[in-house]
């Protein structure tokens, strides 16, 4: 079978799987009585990043670790520059979330932490454990701060992630259905990741490209499909705090939880490509810093700023194709 077809099938399967997984996880969280705002800023952020985890673990197991690291660096750039930019270009994004201050700080901190940990050319199991511990602290603080959000923001999350009624919580059929959604989504995501990595590696070899370039481009864009769909839909529905929170939360999760967990599956550590170390990771850190004044100015991401983000990503993509392909 053509590697392009294998990659495409993998992308479709992983996207559908992630959607089922996310819906199942969010509904189960609701059935367990978890508040909609916590579902939105934790469960959904982690859920939309699970394709990256599946790809990372699969890539490590198949000896294509450059895809694992390249995918995370590339995905975070896709999240902020392309997806957030497209969302703002469609409709300016006013920011009301109080947790945005914490998330902005953690996004910048995690980007520079990753850069610092990669300076020796290796992400070890110890580095992975450190990232996971910081991730747990971040989730704890986010949940704590979510209680301070104003009524309009709380209502926005309630509209998007409806709390389950008492009647629903007592119906075994509903529990079983959403557990099956979750299990099926996990299985499809893992299978899709296997196909996607196999197809991407074959494409890289056939075109004479490195795994890291494939990871930074088509794999990163492909695994960002759940974030793209979630964000665009939230923007169209005017749930713009959810749109921004999802992307920032996902960017943090990608580093602290996804890459942290991936490190645990690499006994010898993840070797960091020099191009990623000296170009892509510093760029991701600079983009995180650039978000701060953008988000602080008028408490809004304007249409003009969104267009600049998208154009910046296009230039970045062009630079990869021109100088690293």
Tens of pLDDT, residue by residue over 253-296, are 999 999 999 999 998 899 999 999 999 999 999 999 988 888 77
- Rounded CA-CA distance 243/93 in Å is 8
Q: For residue 315, what are its two tokens?
A: 């230039």
Mean pLDDT along residues 155-172: 83
Flag the least confident range among 72-81, 86-95, 293-302: 293-302
Whole-model pTM over 0.85: yes
Question: Which superfamily does CATH assign the domain made up of 3-323 to?
Answer: NCX, central ion-binding region (1.20.1420.30)
The reported pLDDT for the residue numbered 40 is 82
Mean pLDDT along residues 52-69: 89
The reported pLDDT for the residue numbered 298 is 67
- H and E: helices and strands count for the chain: 19, 4
Flag the least confident range among 107-111, 230-234, 237-241: 237-241
Mean pLDDT along residues 194-203: 88
Flag the least confident range among 135-139, 179-183, 216-220, 226-230: 226-230
- Give CA 49 to chain center in angstroms: 4
Classified as helix, coil or strand, 96 is: coil
- DSSP letters, 245-265, are HHHHHHHHHIIIIIIHHHHHT
Mean pLDDT along residues 56-71: 89
In the structure, what pLDDT confidence band is assigned to residue 139 with cuts at 50, 70 and 90? very high
Mean pLDDT along residues 62-73: 88
323 pLDDT higher than 90: no
The reported pLDDT for the residue numbered 262 is 95
Name the CA dihedral angle for 60, 63, 66, 67, rounded to a multiple of 10 degrees. -60
- Rounded CA-CA distance 298/57 in Å is 41
In the chain, domain spans: 3-323
Tens of pLDDT, residue by residue over 164-176, are 888 888 888 889 9
């Amino acid at each position: 079978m053509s590697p392009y077809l294998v990659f495409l099938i993998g992308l479709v399967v992983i996207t559908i799987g992630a959607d089922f997984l996310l819906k199942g996880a969010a509904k189960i969280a609701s059935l367990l009585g978890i508040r909609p705002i916590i579902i939105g800023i934790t469960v959904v952020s982690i859920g939309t990043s699970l394709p990256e985890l599946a790809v990372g673990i699969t890539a490590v197991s198949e000896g294509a670790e450059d895809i694992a690291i390249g995918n995370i660096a590339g995905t975070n750039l896709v999240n902020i520059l392309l997806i957030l930019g497209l969302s703002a270009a469609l409709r300016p994004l006013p920011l009301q979330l109080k947790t945005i201050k914490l998330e902005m700080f953690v996004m910048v901190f995690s980007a520079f932490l990753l850069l610092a940990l990669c300076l020796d050319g290796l992400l070890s199991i110890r580095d992975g454990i450190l990232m996971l511990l910081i991730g747990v602290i971040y989730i704890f603080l986010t949940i704590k701060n979510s209680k301070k959000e104003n009524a309009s923001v709380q209502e926005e999350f309630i509209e998007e992630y409806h709390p389950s009624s008492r009647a629903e919580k007592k119906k075994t059929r509903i529990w079983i259905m959403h557990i099956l959604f979750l299990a099926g989504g996990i299985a499809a995501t893992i299978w899709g990741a296997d196909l996607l990595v196999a197809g991407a590696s074959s494409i890289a070899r056939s075109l004479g490209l490195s795994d890291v370039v494939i990871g930074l481009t088509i794999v990163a864009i492909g695994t960002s499909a759940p974030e793209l769909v979630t964000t665009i839909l939230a923007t169209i529905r005017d749930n713009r705090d959810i749109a921004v929170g999802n992307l920032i939360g996902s960017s943090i999760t990608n580093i602290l939880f996804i890459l942290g967990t991936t490190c645990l599956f690499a006994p010898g550590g993840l070797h960091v490509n020099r191009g990623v170390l000296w170009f892509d990771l510093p760029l991701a850190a600079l983009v995180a810093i650039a978000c701060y004044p953008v988000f602080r100015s008028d408490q809004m991401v304007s249409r003009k700023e969104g267009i600049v983000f998208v154009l910046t990503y296009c230039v970045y993509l062009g630079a990869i194709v021109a100088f690293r392909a």
